[in-house]
Amino acid sequence: MADWSSGYVTDVTYIPGYYQELSPAIIRFCLLIQQLTPPPAEEFNYCELGFGQGLSLNLHAAASPGAFAGTDFNSEQAAFAARLAGAAGSDLAVCDDSFEDFSRRDLPQFDYIALHGIWSWINDANRRQIVEFANKRLKRGGAFYVSYNCYPGLAAIEPMRKLFMLHGRRLGEGVSSLERIQGALEFTERIFQAGPHYFHSSGNVGARFEALKNASPRYLAHEYFNANWDIMYFSDVAEMLAGARLNFAASAVPHESVKGLGMSDEAREYLNKVADPFLYQQLYDYFVNRAFRKDIYVRGALPLGEAAYRERMLAQRFILTREPAGIDMTLKVGMGTASFLEEIYRPAVAALAEDGHSPKGLEELRERLGGKLDYSQLLSVCINLMGVGVILPCQTPEAAERCRATARALNAAICRLAGTRDDLRCLASPVTGVGVAVSRMDQLVLDAASSGNEVAPYLLRTLQAGNIAIMKNGRNAENEAEAKHFLEEFLADFHQKRETILKSLGIA
Ligand SMILES: C[S@@+](CC[C@H](N)C(=O)[O-])C[C@H]1O[C@@H](n2cnc3c(N)ncnc32)[C@H](O)[C@@H]1O
């Protein structure tokens, strides 16, 4: 661990991950459904703190019409993020400063400040830096997104993480993070095999330990092996952020704002009587035994009047990002699972798929569904379908047009990298301003299609050069003729099922 890192792991780089909650478009949507005035959708300034490999930051910068900046003190990660930004030609300033050094830079006032997977893994001094940064740098009406490990859901896991640290302390200095992880897992496994009551009595410790034994060591290093792993209550974080005049405004997961969803009757009845929104949030965590929060705070949130809210809602369009067949209309939420009515949700999905998955507003959806649902019912359907992970809100067509070139350039760079790596599984959608999951194989098809060569032979050459298995139903092609046949079928499937959606998203 380096002296400058305040106990944060620096000898292993983090895995690239994509988090749509960081996107200005999702933040705005979450505020809008709370009837709060969102920050601007264009000409805004956005900042991400601790961007990791910068995949989310790059996808958002390339797909949104704003100016972006971010810092992560891991220089190798920042170099990768800067390389992607260079390829995209987006308006993105990448720094490798610590939060403290970054705050001394000559920076603009931001409409959005966002951090994901940071708060629980840094020390108090760095958390204070972030609060101070938001206090100085967030505009009035600006949004602050933060995620963190929380009580009560993670309370049972804390003693397990303590074992990892105890083992690390016995090893002393000069041991790499990867060696620490290996040793700590073996140490903990031996203890658990001897059957301590803790292992059997507390929460999901056993399941969690089994899962993390199979997780990537790079993930484990950053998740469990920093000096800090600080679980907090919602109420404590809210109080700290109040120091920067930030008030809790919304969950960054839209369906979590739908009161009562996935709750037992008793819980719903109890929570309905909790008038104080601050207390409601904290009590909700107890009811669902929440372990991780994704929250949006606003500095001086202005409520939207009824007319302004209605106007914005009617202007909001949505796009279906999956083919309708096979969508599971259930959602793990609250204390259990919500199952959405097939007779309402299937026709809604079918309507969204019409005209080649073109984006549609609530008015258009209402007409296509024969006027059976009113706007607020339709909005609930859309929010729940976002929860199911099959639709996204769209930017205006003008905003989408402004970002088409940068999104195309970033996507081309990512698709080219897919020939040699399998961990950048998202592309930028200028239509939504959000990153969309696209498999490595589909990325390679897009790369082949943009190469100016005949797609199938180019794809075959890329796969062979990268030693990438050509498979069907989990079975490897046995010879070149079979490989070509598998690829033909794959391409037919791509053209039939996914190409239209990717075109509508502005990706293909
Ligand atoms: C768990 S990772 C999360 C990365 C990314 N936000 C994500 O969710 O994929 C935390 C990141 O914060 C960065 N970091 C930690 N402390 C920092 C500090 N004081 N200044 C700048 N970056 C920091 C680390 O280098 C690391 O990339």
For residue 259, pLDDT over 60 is answered with yes
**Ligand 1 contact via 48 beta carbon (within 6 Å):** no
pLDDT tens profile 262-298: 999 999 999 999 999 999 999 999 999 999 999 999 9
35: which residues sit within 8 A by CB, 6+ positions away?
303, 304, 309
Over pLDDT 70: what percentage of the chain? 100
Report the range of poorest mean pLDDT among 108-117, 340-349, 451-460: 451-460
Task: Name the band, by pLDDT with cuts 50, 70 and 90, for residue 171.
Answer: confident
pLDDT of amino acid 351: 98
pLDDT of amino acid 288: 97
For residue 324, pLDDT over 80 is answered with yes
Task: Using CA atoms of 459, 462, 468, 469 in order, give the dihedral in degrees to the nearest 10.
Answer: 30
- Evaluate whether residue 305 is within a structural domain: no
Q: Which residues pair with 149 in a beta bridge?
A: 292
Query: Mean pLDDT over residues 300-305, rounded?
Result: 96
pLDDT of amino acid 170: 81
Task: Name the band, by pLDDT with cuts 50, 70 and 90, for residue 203.
Answer: confident
- Evaluate whether residue 303 is within a structural domain: no
For residue 122 the two structure tokens come to: 């840094």
Q: Which atom of ligand 1 is nearest to the CA of 98?
A: 20
**Closest CA relative to residue 431, chosen from 62, 85, 66:** 62
Residues 47 and 73 in one domain: yes
Residues 387 and 404 in one domain: no
Residues 341, 70: Cα–Cα separation, whole Å: 42
pLDDT tens profile 124-169: 999 999 999 999 999 999 999 999 999 999 999 999 999 999 998 8
- Evaluate whether residue 339 is within a structural domain: yes
Q: Which of 3, 9, 11, 14 to mutate to test the pocket of ligand 1 (most atoms within 8 A of CB)?
A: 14
Task: Name the band, by pLDDT with cuts 50, 70 and 90, for residue 216.
Answer: very high
- Evaluate whether residue 288 is within a structural domain: yes
* 107-142 as b/e: b if 16+ CB within 10 A: beebbbbbbbbbbbbbeeebbebbbebbeebbbebb
Residues 140 and 162 in one domain: no
Whole-model pTM? 0.97
344 touches 381 (CB < 8 A): yes
Q: Is 8 helix (H, G, I), strand (E, B) or coil?
A: coil
Query: Mean pLDDT over residues 314-322, rounded?
Result: 98
Residues 77 and 199 in one domain: no
For residue 16, pLDDT over 70 is answered with yes
pLDDT of amino acid 244: 95
pLDDT of amino acid 1: 57
pLDDT of amino acid 338: 95
Q: Which of 72, 103, 116, 226 to mutate to test the pocket of ligand 1 (most atoms within 8 A of CB)?
A: 72
Closest residue by Cα to atom 27, ligand 1, is 52
Out of 377, 393, 409, pick the residue that ends a domain: 393
* Measured CA distances, 36 to 29, 152, 248, 312, 382 (Å): 10, 29, 12, 11, 18
Strands 471-472 and 426-429, by their bridges, are unpaired
Residues 267 and 405 in one domain: no
For residue 225, pLDDT over 60 is answered with yes
Closest residue by Cα to atom 25, ligand 1, is 74
Q: Which helix (H) or strand (E) holds 44?
A: strand 44-49
**Ligand 1 contact via 222 beta carbon (within 6 Å):** yes
Closest residue by Cα to atom 7, ligand 1, is 52
**Closest CA relative to residue 427, chosen from 336, 339, 353, 501:** 501
**Ligand 1 contact via 71 beta carbon (within 6 Å):** yes
Residues 183 and 256 in one domain: no
Residues 277 and 133 in one domain: yes
For residue 3, pLDDT over 80 is answered with no
Assign residue 246 the CATH number of its domain.
Answer: 3.40.50.150
Residues 196, 191: Cα–Cα separation, whole Å: 7
Out of 182, 204, 224, pick the residue that ends a domain: 224
pLDDT tens profile 485-495: 999 999 999 99
Residues 292 and 182 in one domain: no
- Evaluate whether residue 82 is within a structural domain: yes
pLDDT tens profile 54-107: 999 999 999 999 999 999 999 999 999 999 999 999 999 999 999 999 999 999
Task: Name the band, by pLDDT with cuts 50, 70 and 90, for residue 199.
Answer: confident
Q: SS3 breakdown of the chain: % helix, strand, coil, rounded to 5? A: 50, 15, 35
- Evaluate whether residue 114 is within a structural domain: yes
- Evaluate whether residue 466 is within a structural domain: yes
Residues 129 and 207 in one domain: no
- Evaluate whether residue 310 is within a structural domain: no
Per the structure, the complete domain to which residue 179 belongs is given by 158-224
Out of 202, 224, 246, pick the residue that ends a domain: 224
Task: Give CA 450 to chain center in angstroms.
Answer: 28
260: which residues sit within 8 A by CB, 6+ positions away?
268, 271, 272, 334
pLDDT of amino acid 2: 67
pLDDT of amino acid 191: 94
Cα–ligand 1 centroid distance for 170 (angstroms): 26
Residues 31 and 176 in one domain: no
Task: Name the band, by pLDDT with cuts 50, 70 and 90, for residue 201.
Answer: confident
Q: Which helix (H) or strand (E) holds 336?
A: strand 336-339
**Ligand 1 contact via 73 beta carbon (within 6 Å):** yes
**Ligand 1 contact via 80 beta carbon (within 6 Å):** no
Residues 134 and 12 in one domain: yes
**Residue 97: what residue type?**
D
Indicate the number of domains in the chain.
Answer: 4
For the chain, what is the mean pLDDT? 96
Residues 239 and 283 in one domain: yes
Better-scored residue on pLDDT, 175 or 241:
241
